[in-house]
Amino acid sequence: MRLLSYTLSESTPTYADNPKVQIKPMSLIEEGGVANWFLVSTINHNGTHLDAPWHFNPEGAKVTDLGPEWFVYSSPVLVDVPKDDDELIYDKDLIVHENVIRHADLLLVRTGYGARVRDSDPERYGRKAPGFHPSAARYLKQFTQLRAVGMDLPSAGAPNFPEEAAEFHRIALGAKEGSGFFLIIEDMRLDPDLDQSELKKVIMAPLLLENLDGAPVTVFTLD
């Protein structure tokens, strides 16, 4: 079993100018409180999180509209698509993996950027990260068995390519190019030593926040 999510903390990198996570103690036993409890303040797109269709699709499903079948994956596939600052993932980068993508219900795209940059330079991670080109979304939409795409990036959209970022999300989440959609899992922990052999089954457990377009998620493998 392996966690594919990062711990949410005050040091969690944020996308571009998104507000940081804040964790404030409201009661501490060591200070005379009867129990320990905290106030956690964060936008719902910090850390490892899920984009549901309503994020970019005004007619799309919200997190709590999705049944549990959307969160269990029995055919996850990991592909390596190395990328660096401000680079985009095009359809041509994925076509070379078509033989395995066609069998996937969850596609994990490992660029290596998260492992190299997220901890060492969180500001760079949030402002210079690679992202997906709309052509990648159009290509992936043909695989009707594909229910989610995860990545080791703070967002599927590169911060410095806002138009391409928005268009990828619109296509992926069903606002354009037909009514189908796949979920997007951003800021995943796809370590360099993660191997396809470990991906027998993957579970995604979202925080069930009502009437929201996305939510923090815990993602893990099952043996």
pLDDT in tens, 139-169: 999 999 999 999 999 999 999 999 999 999 9
Read off the pLDDT band of 223 (50, 70, 90).
Answer: confident
Domain that holds residue 139: 22-222
Q: Is residue 16 part of a domain?
A: no
Angle at 71 between CA 66 and CA 72, to 5 degrees: 140
CB 134 within 8 A of CB 176: no
The pLDDT, as a whole number, for residue 179 is 73
Res 34 pLDDT > 90 = yes
Q: What is the DSSP letter of 62?
A: P
CB 197 within 8 A of CB 164: no
Structure tokens at 191: 């370590």
Q: Is residue 119 part of a domain?
A: yes
* Percent of the residues in the chain that have a pLDDT greater than 90, as a whole number: 97
Q: Is residue 5 part of a domain?
A: no
Q: Is residue 15 part of a domain?
A: no
- How many distinct structural domains can be found in the chain? 1
Distance between CA atoms of residues 23 and 25, nearest Å: 7
Distance between CA atoms of residues 47 and 155, nearest Å: 10
The pLDDT, as a whole number, for residue 53 is 97
Beta-strand relationship, 37-41 and 22-27: antiparallel
Beta-strand relationship, 214-222 and 201-206: antiparallel
pLDDT in tens, 65-111: 999 999 999 999 999 999 999 999 999 999 999 999 999 999 999 99
Q: Is residue 12 part of a domain?
A: no
Q: Is residue 8 part of a domain?
A: no
Q: Is residue 44 part of a domain?
A: yes
CB 48 within 8 A of CB 219: yes
Burial environment of residue 104 by CB neighbours within 10 A (0 to 12, 13 to 18, 19 or more): buried
Beta-strand relationship, 214-222 and 49-51: antiparallel
Q: Which residues pair with 27 in a beta bridge?
A: 37
Q: Is residue 93 part of a domain?
A: yes
**Number of Cα atoms under 13 Å in the Cβ half of residue 202:** 30
Burial environment of residue 43 by CB neighbours within 10 A (0 to 12, 13 to 18, 19 or more): middle
Q: Give the domain CATH number at 184.
A: 3.50.30.50
